[in-house]
Amino acid sequence: MELPRNAFKAALGRGRPQIGLWLGLADAYASELCASTGFDWLVIDAEHAPNDVRSVLAQLQAVAPYPTHAVVRTASGEATLLKQYLDIGAQTLLVPMVESAPQAAAIVAATRYPPAGVRGVGSALARASRWGQVSEYLHRCEQELCVLVQVESTAGLKNLPAIAATEGVEGVLFGPADLAGALGVLGKPADPRVQDAIAQGIQTVRTAGKAAGVLSADPTLARKYLDAGALFVAVGIDTTLLVRAARDLRALFAEPVDAPRPRGKG
């Protein structure tokens, strides 16, 4: 059996922009629906959405038949947690709140088998190896693994050159919401200070020869980041899309305040 190919990683290596969607509904049926809509990549969020290892597994299975790539955002860079997501078949991990090169290096080490890293060797139990049926999985899996880290604090921005230069880190994603808080403008990800920090960060990551990414549900800002050189940009969130569509639909049938109401009988 062949090792599944990571088309997302290959596209980044070729410099091809990848447009993504964030998934926070924590439901395999909803994730499959989104997988059918043509996005290059989908983020299964296990940091802020109510996901666990089993719900992420169900979504990986639901998305697998479609020509889109599932990225799992973990709750942390804890090695045991990363091992579990890798074993259930995630090939791209996005780790939040990375603030230093040593932290980034430890995350990479958690995705590598010894002697290159500290990932536990349990591939016979793992979906990732198709339960031991992928030829030479232990020696070849690293070829198709993609480690992405998030920089979303002032410490992360300060150490960005070293973080981006860390061997094994394929890309850096900037989190506008957390950066806004860190820069003193909480709730204002479109603030010029946040935009400037991200634009400069994109250039720093590109200088290191790595891919830069951003999450922005504002189409104007998303295009701005793409024009600045970001290669993987998530342009929406499923929860936001559903709430907006539902509110807009309800608004079409909003009842005027002074509308007459039918009288009850009796």
Instruction: Select from 81, 35, 82 the least CA-distant residue to 58.
Output: 35
**Active-site hit among 48, 140, 158, 244:** 48
> Cβ distance 20 to 41 under 8 Å?
yes
Instruction: Select from 64, 83, 46, 85 the least CA-distant residue to 5.
Output: 64
What is the spatial distance between Cα 113 and Cα 188, in angstroms, rounded to a whole number? 41
Instruction: Select from 230, 257, 232, 224 the least CA-distant residue to 43.
Output: 232
> Cβ distance 1 to 128 under 8 Å?
no
Specify the 3-state DSSP secondary structure of 61: helix
48 is known as an active-site residue? yes
Instruction: Select from 216, 226, 69, 220 the least CA-distant residue to 148.
Output: 69
Pairing mode, strands 146-151 and 169-174:
parallel
Residue 42 gets the label, from left (phi > 0), alpha (psi -120 to 50) or beta, of: beta
> Cβ distance 19 to 40 under 8 Å?
yes
What is the spatial distance between Cα 241 and Cα 201, in angstroms, rounded to a whole number? 28
> Cβ distance 53 to 79 under 8 Å?
no
Looking at the annotation, which residues are catalytic?
A: 48
